[in-house]
């Protein structure tokens, strides 16, 4: 009931905004990473293009590094229309839906190209609408990379992780992954990870090269294992009421700009990931552990029970589309 009243209020508010749109529409875009990451760059590029193409009609304010909201609170902030755009990691949606948790399954996607094929498929695109009942609309996918695992000691075999405490994103699947390795986990907002590593409170974490490089995690994590075991990326989201309340021509232009930014960003991603990885190597603080096929297979075997546990909860249509995406590059 309370939610319905709140939603009606947001709709009325959005309609009022539309009716008196002599004032530019103001979009607040909140995210948690540095500006020197694929997501940070893309958010800034979105602002630049909007303010060029919709000058005088729309303004954009980007809040990076969790300066406005952390990932969990941002979902509520969006429902309240305190922010109009956000791009949380897909793992962070696990607090409100189970429909996206398959992304965290280890070794589900063969590589980033397979993720791209899946997200561009009809099934992947349909999932942008999967949060409609929460008043949230998905607008685009932004990719960040495959996850690697860093730690205060070398992890070459899966058994090397036994007994360590890992910081994880809020995901039951990731929690189970470390349980299978005999490790323990703590869910921490991204903005607190650096501090937790610096104080030695957690001994390891998993992330994309962009996040490791831009947060200097390698300063406290001298070993990084290139497991590439799961995908880390984002859904760009807005409040349905806000979006539907926009004048149609402005909404169309914003969608076109978002599509342009998404294409630009995803087009250079592979190259950028290589640069972040090389940046970590050049800083000389961490050793990158590259796995042989046989060693990577040992991780795959050790984590197979995670897939067994969660696969039955995944929509078979989604699983079939992922299988097709994996096969598509061969
Ligand atoms: C994390 O919490 O590690 C990431 O999801 C942060 C991000 O937005 O890339």
In the chain, count of helices (H) and strands (E)?
A: 13, 11
Q: Of 72 and 26, which is predicted with more confidence? A: 26
**Is the CB of 32 within 6 Å of ligand 1?**
yes
Q: How confident is the model at residue 121 (pLDDT cuts 50, 70, 90)?
A: very high
**Is the CB of 81 within 6 Å of ligand 1?**
no
**Is the CB of 207 within 6 Å of ligand 1?**
yes
Atom of ligand 1 nearest to the CA of 91: 5
* Digit-coded pLDDT (tens) for 185-200: 999 999 999 999 999 9
**Is the CB of 101 within 6 Å of ligand 1?**
no
Atom of ligand 1 nearest to the CA of 189: 2
Question: What per-residue confidence (pLDDT) applies to 15?
Answer: 47
Residues 303-325: b if buried by 16+ CB within 10 A, e if exposed = beebbeebeeebeeebeebbeeb
What mean pLDDT is predicted for residues 237-250?
A: 97
pLDDT at 145 exceeding the cut of 80: yes
Question: What per-residue confidence (pLDDT) applies to 272?
Answer: 97
Dist. CA 33 → ligand 1 center (Å): 7
Q: How confident is the model at residue 124 (pLDDT cuts 50, 70, 90)?
A: very high
Question: What per-residue confidence (pLDDT) applies to 172?
Answer: 97
CB hemisphere CA count around 47 (13 angstroms): 21
The whole-angstrom distance between residue 155's C-alpha and the CA centroid of its chain comes to 24
Cα–Cα distance for residue pair 35/64, rounded to 1 Å:
6
**Is the CB of 215 within 6 Å of ligand 1?**
no
pLDDT at 100 exceeding the cut of 60: yes
* Digit-coded pLDDT (tens) for 283-319: 999 999 999 999 999 999 999 999 999 989 999 999 9
pLDDT at 330 exceeding the cut of 90: no
Question: What per-residue confidence (pLDDT) applies to 329?
Answer: 62
DSSP calls for 213-246? HHHTGGGT--EEE----SEEEEEEEEEHHHHHTS
* Digit-coded pLDDT (tens) for 4-50: 544 454 444 444 444 444 799 999 999 999 999 999 999 999 999 99
Structure tokens at 321: 């589309």
| Burial of residue 298 (number of CB atoms within 10 Å: 0-12, 13-18, 19+) | middle
**Is the CB of 190 within 6 Å of ligand 1?**
yes
What distance separates the 2 farthest-apart alpha carbons in the chain?
64
What residue's CA is closest to ligand 1, atom 3? 190
pLDDT at 96 exceeding the cut of 70: yes
- Percent of the chain at pLDDT exceeding 90: 90
Q: Would you call 121 helix, strand, or coil by DSSP?
A: coil
DSSP calls for 154-197? ---SGGGGTT-EEEE-S-HHHHHHHHHTT-EEEE--GGGHHHHH
* Digit-coded pLDDT (tens) for 169-178: 999 999 999 9
Dist. CA 257 → ligand 1 center (Å): 24
User: What is the H or E stretch that residue 102 is in?
Assistant: none
31, 71, 170, 276, best to mutate for ligand 1 pocket (most atoms within 8 Å of CB): 71
What mean pLDDT is predicted for residues 122-146?
A: 97
Question: What per-residue confidence (pLDDT) applies to 22?
Answer: 72
Mean pLDDT of the chain: 93
The whole-angstrom distance between residue 50's C-alpha and the CA centroid of its chain comes to 23
**Is the CB of 33 within 6 Å of ligand 1?**
yes
What mean pLDDT is predicted for residues 68-77?
A: 89
Alpha-carbon dihedral sign for residues 201, 205, 210, 213: positive
Dist. CA 132 → ligand 1 center (Å): 23
Q: Please, which residues have CB within 8 angstroms of residue 327's CB and are 6 or more apart in sequence?
A: none
- Percent of the chain at pLDDT exceeding 70: 93
Question: What per-residue confidence (pLDDT) applies to 150?
Answer: 98
| Burial of residue 295 (number of CB atoms within 10 Å: 0-12, 13-18, 19+) | middle
**pTM of the predicted model, to two decimals?**
0.92
């Amino acid at each position: 009931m309370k939610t319905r009243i709140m939603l009606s209020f947001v709709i009325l508010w959005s309609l009022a905004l539309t009716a008196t749109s002599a004032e530019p529409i103001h979009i607040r875009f909140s995210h948690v990473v540095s500006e020197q990451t694929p997501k940070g760059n893309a958010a800034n590029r979105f602002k630049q293009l909007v303010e060029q193409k919709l000058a005088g009609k729309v303004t954009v304010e980007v809040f990076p590094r969790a300066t406005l909201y952390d990932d969990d609170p941002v979902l509520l902030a969006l429902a309240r229309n305190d922010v109009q755009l956000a791009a949380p990691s897909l793992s962070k949606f696990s607090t409100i839906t189970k429909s996206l948790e398959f992304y965290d399954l280890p070794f589900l996607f063969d590589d980033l190209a397979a993720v791209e094929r899946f997200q561009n498929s009809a099934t992947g695109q349909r999932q942008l609408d999967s949060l409609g009942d929460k008043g949230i609309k998905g607008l685009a996918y932004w990719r960040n990379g495959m996850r690697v695992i860093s730690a205060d000691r070398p992890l070459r075999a899966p058994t090397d992780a036994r007994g360590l405490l890992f910081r994880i994103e809020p995901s039951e699947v990731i929690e189970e992954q470390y349980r299978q390795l005999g490790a323990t986990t703590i869910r921490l907002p991204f903005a607190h990870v650096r501090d937790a590593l610096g104080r030695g409170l957690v001994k390891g974490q998993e992330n994309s090269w962009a996040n490791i490089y831009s947060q200097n995690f390698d300063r406290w994590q001298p070993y990084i294992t290139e497991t590439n075991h799961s995908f880390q990326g984002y859904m760009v989201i807005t409040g349905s009421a806000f979006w539907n309340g926009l004048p149609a021509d402005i909404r169309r232009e914003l969608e076109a700009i978002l599509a342009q930014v998404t294409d630009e960003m995803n087009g250079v991603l592979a190259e950028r990931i290589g640069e972040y990885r090389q940046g970590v190597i050049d800083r000389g603080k961490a050793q990158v552990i590259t796995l042989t096929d046989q060693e990577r297979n040992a991780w795959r075997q050790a984590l197979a029970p995670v897939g067994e546990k969660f696969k039955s909860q995944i929509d078979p249509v989604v699983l079939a589309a992922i299988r097709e995406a994996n096969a598509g590059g061969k």
